[in-house]
Structure 1
Amino acid sequence: MELRQLETFQTVAEHLSFTKAAARLNYAQSTVTGQIKALESSLKATLFDRRGGTIRLTDEGRRILSYAERMLALADEARASVAEPADLEGSLVVGTMESITSYRMRDLLELFHHRYPGVRLFLRPSLCAETCEALHNGDYDLGFLMEDTTSFPGLDGVTLVREELDLVAAPSHELAGRPLDTADLLDQAILVPERGCAFRDLFEKELTSGGAAPSLMELGTVEAVKRGVASGLGIALLPRMTLEEETVKGDLVRLDWRPPFTLHSQLVWREDRRLTPVQRLFVEQTVRAMREQEPALAPPPVY
């Protein structure tokens, strides 16, 4: 019985697919099959029931899985106990979104590139609901969310920062420079990113709460929305972190309207999975980086 066989077994058990496990581990599928057969031979037990093109854990497989998880966790702890953080090695698949990747992670990515060269980061662009599903399925190790809630079934995590939201327009827009309420926005052209983005969905809910049907122009990305607003196509609600350059240069102005909801950026993971040393390092460094951006808003992580 070898650790690499146990790791392969755990990955197949998570995905219930030899093909997906091979892709996750960057192995040929024949390698995955060979390691599972070798492990079954060593244990003198059948770990997976293979029928009709699908697989499932046998009773023996379920029992061995709990042992495998504990043995792999202990192996990680043993390696971490004698390794300097800079010497840690491993890969992380992280679900994220455009605004966090572009505006919150630049310093963090630079840090990992220079200080932790053995850690390979794979960033997967996805909306919050997709990230949660991928975490539950075992496709992602960690995931960034930006939501109005801070509790998600089956997930654990840390709240990083409260994200301020600003309604913006071109400087010459008719709404610039005067107090506004929601009714003032209903006859305006409103530019939005793709559906599933939390601040877009909550803004749309606020605008339609009285039965109104506002004019929405979906432009897909935050960058496309900003360019559209600057060119006079309409107004938009966006995270403040994405607007610093444009508001300083005067390309966009903040309108005097505050949203009746609050969003928080968070880093989450499956609650039934113990963080590996590499995952724990990423969480700790993310919290540190966010604290430097917003000193009062990022609590320390609790494992």
Structure 2
Amino acid sequence: MEIRQFQSFKAVVELNSFTKAAQALQYSQASITSHIQQLEDEIGAPLFDRLGKHIQLTPVGQELYLCVTELLGAYSKIKHISVDDLAVKGELRIGASETMTIYKLGPVLSRYKKQYPTVTISLINDDCLPLRERLHTGELDIAITLEPKVDDQQLTTVVCTEEPLVFVGEQGHSLQSIEDANGECMIFSQKNCALRRFFEAYLVRKGIRTDNQLVLTSMEAMKQCIMSGLGISLMPYISVKELIANNRMKVIPSSDESLMFFGQLSYHNNKWLSKAHKAFIEMVVEGC
């Protein structure tokens, strides 16, 4: 038996899906299926009842899940064992949204690596929802997101910063209010993005049509399209303030005085935090 088989099994159980587990762990679905089959062959009993499109743990699977949760917790602790109790060593698996990475984490990561050069850091960028899913599967240790306040009873979440949102268009845009935007092209990020969901909900609430839209996967591409006059969008102010100051974008007023997202650091309640984790969390909270 291998650790990756246990990680795949735990992810399938907690996400209740082979497909979602494959996405969260960045494996192919065939690999996830193979890991589960190998475990079933070793144990000599099925771990899941496959009822049409639904899966359910068998009694053997339920017993294994309890053991695997304990085992992977111990595995995480083993990876951070240091001969010198005063040393900060180990590995950090960090996930962060694009905006937080670009505009907030650079100085924090630089300071951390200078102070703790023996800690290995892997950083992935993704949308907020997938990042939280990876916390639940154990693929990530810590997630740093920019979104509405997280309400997840299985996660410990600390608000690090408040970041206003602004509607923006090209500098010469004639709109005086976002409420007058019917017929305008709305520039959206991809579906898993918290900003996209918030933007769409706002437009629906205001009765503004969204049938004319452009969907992009990169915030930088979105900004270029806005400046080119292709449409309007909702962006974190921190990501466009220089463009606004340099008269390359225009803020389009809203009747809502305050539109706010929150920079947040989250980790699973059951996650064992090493000295390396605790030092990083402290620096993020202080530095953001």
What is the TM-score of this pair, normalised by structure 2?
Answer: 0.73
The 3 A distance-change label for structure 1 pair 192 and 51 is same
Letter in 1 for 2:127: L
Which range is displaced more, 130-139 or 207-216?
A: 207-216
1:147-186 aligned within 5 A: 147-175=147-175, 178=176, 180=177, 182-186=178-182
Match of 1:276 in 2: 274
Structure 2 Cα separation of the partners of residues 166 and 60 of structure 1: 49
Q: Choose which of 247, 250, 255 in structure 1 pairs with 2:252.
A: 255
Structure 2 Cα separation of the partners of residues 273 and 12 of structure 1: 19
The 3 A distance-change label for structure 1 pair 211 and 244 is closer
Match of 1:225 in 2: 222
Structure 2 Cα separation of the partners of residues 77 and 90 of structure 1: 8
In our comparison, the structure showing a higher alpha carbon Rg is: 1
**1:49 maps to 2:50:** no
Letter in 1 for 2:172: S
Match of 1:43 in 2: none
**1:192 maps to 2:196:** no
Is the CA contact 1:77–1:277 (under 8 Å) kept in the aligned structure 2? no
CA-CA distance at 1:140 after TM superposition? 0.7
Match of 1:89 in 2: 89
Match of 1:204 in 2: 200
Partner of 2:264, secondary structure, is strand
- Unaligned 5+ segments in structure 1 are 1-7, 25-47, 291-303
Is the CA contact 1:157–1:267 (under 8 Å) kept in the aligned structure 2? yes
Match of 1:105 in 2: 105
Structure 2 Cα separation of the partners of residues 262 and 116 of structure 1: 34
Is the CA contact 1:162–1:264 (under 8 Å) kept in the aligned structure 2? yes
**1:285 maps to 2:279:** no
The 3 A distance-change label for structure 1 pair 111 and 208 is same
Structure 1 Cα separation of the partners of residues 224 and 129 of structure 2: 27
CA-CA distance at 1:51 after TM superposition? 4.5
1:87-117 superposed Cα distances (whole Å, 9 cap, x missing partner)? x221111111211111111111222333221
Is the CA contact 1:186–1:207 (under 8 Å) kept in the aligned structure 2? no
Structure 1 vs Structure 2: percent identity of aligned residues? Answer: 21
The 3 A distance-change label for structure 1 pair 74 and 193 is closer
What is the TM-score of this pair, normalised by structure 1?
Answer: 0.69
The 3 A distance-change label for structure 1 pair 279 and 171 is same
The 3 A distance-change label for structure 1 pair 204 and 12 is same
Partner of 2:94, secondary structure, is strand
The 3 A distance-change label for structure 1 pair 155 and 50 is farther
The 3 A distance-change label for structure 1 pair 213 and 174 is same
CA-CA distance at 1:267 after TM superposition? 0.8
1:267-302 superposed Cα distances (whole Å, 9 cap, x missing partner)? 101101221111111101111111xxxxxxxxxxxx
Structure 2 Cα separation of the partners of residues 169 and 185 of structure 1: 11
Letter in 2 for 1:283: I
1:233-285 superposed Cα distances (whole Å, 9 cap, x missing partner)? 11111001101221222111222226565321111011012211111111011
**1:126 maps to 2:130:** no
- Unaligned 5+ segments in structure 2 are 11-21, 27-41, 49-56
Structure 1 Cα separation of the partners of residues 223 and 9 of structure 2: 43
Structure 2 Cα separation of the partners of residues 102 and 128 of structure 1: 15
1:185-237 superposed Cα distances (whole Å, 9 cap, x missing partner)? 22222212112211221111121236553222112211111101111111111
CA-CA distance at 1:145 after TM superposition? 2.1
The 3 A distance-change label for structure 1 pair 210 and 243 is closer
Match of 2:264 in 1: 266
CA RMSD of aligned residues (A): 3.4
Structure 1 Cα separation of the partners of residues 120 and 92 of structure 2: 6
Structure 2 Cα separation of the partners of residues 272 and 242 of structure 1: 34
Structure 2 Cα separation of the partners of residues 201 and 61 of structure 1: 34
Q: Choose which of 210, 213, 218 in structure 1 pairs with 2:209.
A: 213
The 3 A distance-change label for structure 1 pair 241 and 134 is same
